Amino acid sequence: WRAVPEMQASNRGQGLVMHMLQDFSKLVVGGETPLLRVWDLARERCVQTYQSGTNSSVSCLCSMKAGEINTALAGCSDGSIRVLDLRANQPSRLTEHSTYVVNVAMLNGSLGSESQMISAASNGEIKIWDLRTMSSIKTFRAHKERITAMALHPYAPVLAAGSDAQMVNVISTGGEVL
């Protein structure tokens, strides 16, 4: 089946972006399209379609851990982040980044509040967000130059950010380079 039928094949841009909500048997998909879709994997059918509210592509996806409210996060190439409550029809929009969102991740409950997420933008900016207030609560830089990747440790308050020059900084979620 085609996850995003209206998306054209291309050699540029993000292409297809996916995130599996394994405990819920769902797949969230986006990419070079203004639509985000939620698929029921057992039935292989689309159960929800969201307008992203932007013409930019979806660059990354993640979701809350199992057992929490079913929420997905979509980072976009225009610097915005969409927060999808999968019970609602309209995504919320976070707009504090000014460049391409490289990655988004939920902070584990042991790292902070279960309602917090972290995002990384290509200009090296890292933000920690409180999803209850829909605003950032901490901002720091991962690199002086452009970053292309960010990964959050699943249990420790540590992330790694990689630059165009293939340099990796390991940083605490408090912003301290380790």
Residue pair 140/126 in contact (Cβ under 8 Å)? The answer is yes
Phi, psi at 159, each rounded to 5°: -135, 160
Cα distance between the two ends of the chain: 45
Within-domain flag for 159: no
Q: What is the mean pLDDT of the chain?
A: 86
Within-domain flag for 173: no
Q: Kindly tell me if the per-residue pLDDT of 53 is higher than 80.
A: no
CATH number at residue 49: 2.130.10.10
For 25-47, the DSSP string reads TEEEEEESSSEEEEEETTTTEEE
In the block, which residue shows the tokens 């830089």?
A: 141
Q: Give the model's confidence band at 41: pLDDT under 50 very low, under 70 low, under 90 confident, else very high.
A: very high
Q: Kindly tell me if the per-residue pLDDT of 66 is higher than 50.
A: no
Residue 12 CB contacts under 8 Å (≥ 6 apart), including other chains: none
Residue 135 CA, chain-centre distance (Å), reads 15
Within-domain flag for 107: yes
Within-domain flag for 176: no
Within-domain flag for 138: yes
Q: Give the model's confidence band at 7: pLDDT under 50 very low, under 70 low, under 90 confident, else very high.
A: low
Within-domain flag for 166: no
The letter for the amino acid at 176 is E
The whole-angstrom separation of Cα 155 and Cα 171 is 14
Q: Kindly tell me if the per-residue pLDDT of 112 is higher than 60.
A: no
Within-domain flag for 128: yes
> How does pLDDT run across 77-100, given as a tens digit for each residue?
999 999 988 777 778 899 999 999
Q: Kindly tell me if the per-residue pLDDT of 3 is higher than 50.
A: yes
Q: Give the model's confidence band at 55: pLDDT under 50 very low, under 70 low, under 90 confident, else very high.
A: confident
What is the sign of the dihedral through the CA atoms of 65, 69, 116 and 122? positive
Q: Kindly tell me if the per-residue pLDDT of 28 is higher than 80.
A: yes
Q: Kindly tell me if the per-residue pLDDT of 22 is higher than 90.
A: no
**Across 109-124, average pLDDT:** 81
Q: Give the model's confidence band at 109: pLDDT under 50 very low, under 70 low, under 90 confident, else very high.
A: low
- List the domain range (segments joined by +) for residue 79: 16-142
Within-domain flag for 29: yes
Domains identified in the chain, total number = 1
